[in-house]
Structure 1
Amino acid sequence: MELALPAWFEIGSFVVLLLILAFDLLIVFKRPHIPSPKESTLWVSFYVALALLFALLMLTIGDAEHAGQFLAGWLTEYSLSIDNLFVFVLIMSRFAVPKKYQQEVLMVGIIIALVLRGIFIVLGAQLIASFSWIFYIFGAFLLYTAIHQAFSKHDDTDDNENRMVGFMRKHLKISDQYEGFKLRTLVDGNKMFTPLIIVFIALGTTDLLFALDSIPAIFGITQSPFIVFAANVFALMGLRQLYFLLGHLLDKLEYLKYGIAFILGFIGVKLVFHAMHENELPFINGGHPIEWAPEISTWTSLAVIILSMAVATIASLVKLKRSGTSVSEAMHGDDEEEPDDSGTAETTDRPAKTTREDAG
């Protein structure tokens, strides 16, 4: 039987989370600036502490299973969000978004991600409630995604992105220069879109593709829509500060994608085992549950997720150190000169490396 938390706690949590996001949004648009490493560190620490406090509340109001499901779901979504963040870094660089306005652009990307994930959560919950065999599909999809994440070279991603840019420039009037945070501008008396329209569409497409991975992954940990949505919100909060804190270090964490791929593969296997326990397909074991399939506990999942990310991160940092590059150099050494607000957006066919073939 699915665990249930008090209605007042769920409603109150949503209200508080929305207020925090609204406050964060207000800060971004009222005071656009480039956060310092100290400011970014404080905000990231605050949001992580807030998530841990929320887990403690769930332990107190609910039980250890509630808290464990939230922690495992939050860490899974946080891992996938970091992968998402890496692509955000590339999009900003690819289109030469002025750093002064990257906070606003990131916030828009995060809001798009929240809306899309909310839609997928509702759809996923309805599918699970109606068709238990959907876990077979979710599990197979995550296993495919894990293999793709670990072994694909993504050499044709640039071609896909450049085709998108070419298509938009052919069908939309897009200027070559940014006009602050404006989407529309006047060029020689003609109304045109600024390059921000391309950036937003690239971010939205990326968010959509990453949501396709993240929602089945967390439903492999918990079937509670509340915990699923809360874990996603906490994973996305502080993401823009993490962007400014880590900088180009993400590109140097070479083994991070393998850690994420292992997590996706593990949860995919867990989903298949769960589907076997709930089996209703007549052509599999006559429609009867498959008793020998093991049940993977929430705490086992939590341990695997933490260990996978820890090993991937430590191995990446060790390799970075052996290459003679310090963490500080990796974070800031590749920064290019910041374009001014009227700078030209780089939408030519310049190569860009990505971690997922579908991103952008």
Structure 2
Amino acid sequence: MESPLVWTITIAVLVGMFAFDFFVVVGRPHVPSFKESVSWSVFYIAISLVFGASFWWWSTPDKGAEFLAGYVTEKSLSVDNLFVFLVIMTRFAVPPKLRERVLLIGIALALVFRGIFIAAGAAALNTFHWVFFLFGAFLIYTAIVIGREGGPEEGEAEYKENAFTRLVRRAMPLTDGYRGVHMVVREHGTRMITPLLLVVVALGSTDVMFALDSIPAIFGLTKDPYIVFTANALALLGLRQLFFVVDGLLSRLIYLSYGLALVLGFIGVKMILEALHGNNLPFINGGMPLEQVPVPSTWASLGVIIGVLGIAAAASLIVSKRTGEHLHDPREDVGEPDPSGRDDRA
């Protein structure tokens, strides 16, 4: 268990990195070049890997492996989620110069909500051991759903306005277009919101929904709340830059969903096997633990995650290049996107 001082320093550093990213890197609205996006992506990934390696020095190698396994899983889930982000920004017709700012604000909101989810999940797991069974079963169910919906023919991402976005839309009148970086403006004596606020709310609240599978997934790899939080934070921190790097490759990752389905299924099974070791449910083995059940080690889990996702990504790029298959790109849709986010086409 990390001390309050370690938590304080970690959170302060992460807040500082987000502030630097917001005020320095994206302080001037612009369309980032591919070279700029790659450079920042490599920078943030390098920081994450160095942080993971630091566990060998100030903690234990197993903790380092847990962080790396969690980070790779969260990063991969984030890449899959980027396609939905692209759908949202296309639906709201976000100007290219504002996409960096929109992504970063949405990611910051998502991190705050995930922090709450992580605290609640850790408390539940520490208090009720049977929650491990629920998390494991949910991950297996999610894996089946993702596996069925994946693939080039069925991989079209759709966006449906959620309750948070509808609530914000009803709260105040909406301007007829963007007003630069402003989210709230006063026009003709009336305070109005701009589509920029709607898209930020849409991105942040949508990522909260993604947390329903990503948080249980990383708890299946480590029970340490500190590792869960830092892996999520660092995976999200470089997500903005990664979006502009893989933007052109997203539609070619035709098998990534299958890879993620296998990983989530594997983690779900691992979580249930670990839960059996501390079982106290009366209808399973008379309420006695099943300590003889084999459980994959952290290092084995790390190998499975990297191997499966690496194969899925490589196969996607190779097959899509040879056959021309790709996932549906919302920018290929006919018609002009509506800044309000509404789609009134028949």
Same fold (TM over 0.5): yes
TM superposition shift of 1:248: 3.5
Across the two proteins, how many residue pairs are aligned to each other?
338
* Unpaired segments ≥5 residues, structure 2: none
Candidates 35, 46, 50, aligned match of 2:43: 46
Structure 1 residue aligned with 2:92: 95
CA RMSD, aligned part only? 2.9
- Comparing 24-33 with 238-247, greater Cα deviation is found at 24-33
CA distance in 2, matches of 1:44, 1:157: 27
Pairing 1:70–2:70 present: no
Counterparts in 2 of 1:324 and 1:288: CA distance versus 1, 3 Å: closer
Pairing 1:56–2:56 present: no
Structure 2 residue aligned with 1:133: 130
Pairing 1:223–2:223 present: yes
- Comparing 263-272 with 181-190, greater Cα deviation is found at 181-190
Structure 1 residue aligned with 2:144: 147
- Percent sequence identity is 46
Could you list the per-position Cα deviations for residues 20-73 of structure 1 after superposition, in whole angstroms to 9, with x for gaps in the alignment?
222112224522221111111111111111111112211111121011011001
Could you list the per-position Cα deviations for residues 308-329 of structure 1 after superposition, in whole angstroms to 9, with x for gaps in the alignment?
111110111012211359x9xx
CA distance in 2, matches of 1:199, 1:136: 36
Structure 1 residue aligned with 2:80: 83
**Residue pair 2:164, 2:201 contacting (<8 A) in 1 also:** no
TM superposition shift of 1:214: 0.9
Counterparts in 2 of 1:30 and 1:162: CA distance versus 1, 3 Å: closer
Structure 2 residue aligned with 1:356: none
CA distance in 2, matches of 1:314, 1:217: 23
Candidates 24, 31, 38, aligned match of 2:28: 31
Structure 2 residue aligned with 1:282: 282
Structure 2 residue aligned with 1:316: 316
Q: Give 1:75's aligned amino acid.
A: V
CA distance in 2, matches of 1:162, 1:127: 27
Structure 2 residue aligned with 1:208: 208
TM superposition shift of 1:144: 1.1
**Residue pair 2:133, 2:271 contacting (<8 A) in 1 also:** yes
- Comparing 163-172 with 312-321, greater Cα deviation is found at 163-172
**Residue pair 1:5, 1:62 contacting (<8 A) in 2 also:** no
Q: Secondary structure at the residue paired with 1:191?
A: strand
Q: Secondary structure at the residue paired with 1:17?
A: helix
Counterparts in 2 of 1:56 and 1:312: CA distance versus 1, 3 Å: same
Normalising by structure 1, report the TM-score.
Answer: 0.85
**Residue pair 1:165, 1:347 contacting (<8 A) in 2 also:** no
TM superposition shift of 1:350: 6.9
CA distance in 1, matches of 2:172, 2:110: 24
Counterparts in 2 of 1:174 and 1:5: CA distance versus 1, 3 Å: closer
CA distance in 2, matches of 1:70, 1:232: 10
CA distance in 2, matches of 1:83, 1:174: 31
TM superposition shift of 1:197: 2.8
Structure 2 residue aligned with 1:349: 343
Q: Give 1:43's aligned amino acid.
A: W
CA distance in 1, matches of 2:81, 2:236: 10
Counterparts in 2 of 1:163 and 1:225: CA distance versus 1, 3 Å: closer
Q: Secondary structure at the residue paired with 2:83?
A: helix
CA distance in 1, matches of 2:3, 2:259: 35
Q: Give 1:52's aligned amino acid.
A: L
Q: Secondary structure at the residue paired with 1:196?
A: helix
Q: Secondary structure at the residue paired with 1:192?
A: strand
CA distance in 2, matches of 1:263, 1:33: 36
Q: Give 2:56's aligned amino acid.
A: L
Structure 2 residue aligned with 1:196: 196
Counterparts in 2 of 1:29 and 1:51: CA distance versus 1, 3 Å: closer
Q: Secondary structure at the residue paired with 1:289?
A: coil
Structure 1 residue aligned with 2:244: 244
Structure 1 residue aligned with 2:121: 124
Counterparts in 2 of 1:156 and 1:39: CA distance versus 1, 3 Å: closer
